[in-house]
Amino acid sequence: MKIVAAKQILKANDQLAAENRLRFQHRGVFGVNLVGSPGCGKTTLLESLFRTLRGRVSPAVIEGDIAGQIDADRMTAMGVPVVQINTDGMCHLDANMIAAAWDGLEGDAEQAVDMLIVENVGNLVCTAGYDLGEHLRIVVLSVSEGDDKLVKYPAIFQRSQALVITKMDLLPYTNFNVERVRGDMRRLNPDAEIFAVSALQGDGMDGLADWLAARRSAVPATSRS
């Protein structure tokens, strides 16, 4: 019974996600689903990314959190249109929440948004199962989390198109082995891109930003209104 119900929920979610993807494409919007553990540095990565991409993309953000609006306030401070979703205990975002949040963003943004980044709830497990309608899923892993996470939480690394290793400025103070992580990722997901950055210090951000801008340009926009 439980398994059937879960499958039905996921099937319904997949249908809603496909609808979201069509809506985004009609508006020429490239959708990114950013996932990772609590405290892996997703918000700081976005702040650094938006600084690096200034003038090249017009981003909007959907922030997913159990409670609070700390991250949404940080996006507002950067002048980025943002909607905060409070999941009230739910451990992941789903396509239905994104549809509702996008309703709010679509009308309000002063200029045409061409990149929507969803910062998911901090969770390396449950977020792996839910398509939100994104074009690209990026998983974030900080060096302070340790280099064994791909072995322990394989699904989310298999189901992402890019891995961003963050907090490289902390590398000298940890026993994190970047080459081990690169090797594990290549085994789990040979086609994924791998970036290593320090969002605080800016190292590696140009490569990530260029790649993301190129991916955005390649989105098959049905029309760009």
Residues that bind a copy of itself (CB under 8 A): 2, 5, 9, 37-40, 65-68, 70, 89, 91, 121-126, 142, 144-146, 148-149, 151-155, 167, 169-170, 173-174
Task: Let me know: does 173 contact 21? Beta carbons within 8 Å.
Answer: no
Q: How far is the CB of 84 from a copy of itself (least distance, A)?
A: 11
CA distance 178 to 198: 13
Furthest C-alpha separation in the chain: 51
Contacts of 107 (CB under 8 A, 6+ apart): none
From residue 165, alpha-carbon distances to 162, 181, 193, 200 in Å are 10, 9, 11, 13
Q: How far is the CB of 117 from a copy of itself (least distance, A)?
A: 18
Give strand pairing partners of 140: 36, 164
Q: How far is the CB of 145 from a copy of itself (least distance, A)?
A: 3
The full DSSP string for 73-141 is HHHHHTT--EEEEE-TT-SS--HHHHHHHHHHHHHH-SS---EEEEE--S-SSGGGG---S-SEEEEEE
- Beta carbon nearer to a copy of itself, 39 or 202: 39
Q: How far is the CB of 29 from a copy of itself (least distance, A)?
A: 27
Residue with tokens 């990026």: 138
- Beta carbon nearer to a copy of itself, 116 or 140: 140
Q: How far is the CB of 87 from a copy of itself (least distance, A)?
A: 9
Closest CA to 87 of 100, 105, 103: 100
- Beta carbon nearer to a copy of itself, 144 or 161: 144
- Beta carbon nearer to a copy of itself, 105 or 124: 124
- Beta carbon nearer to a copy of itself, 3 or 214: 3
- Beta carbon nearer to a copy of itself, 14 or 106: 14
Q: How far is the CB of 2 from a copy of itself (least distance, A)?
A: 8
CA distance 58 to 43: 17
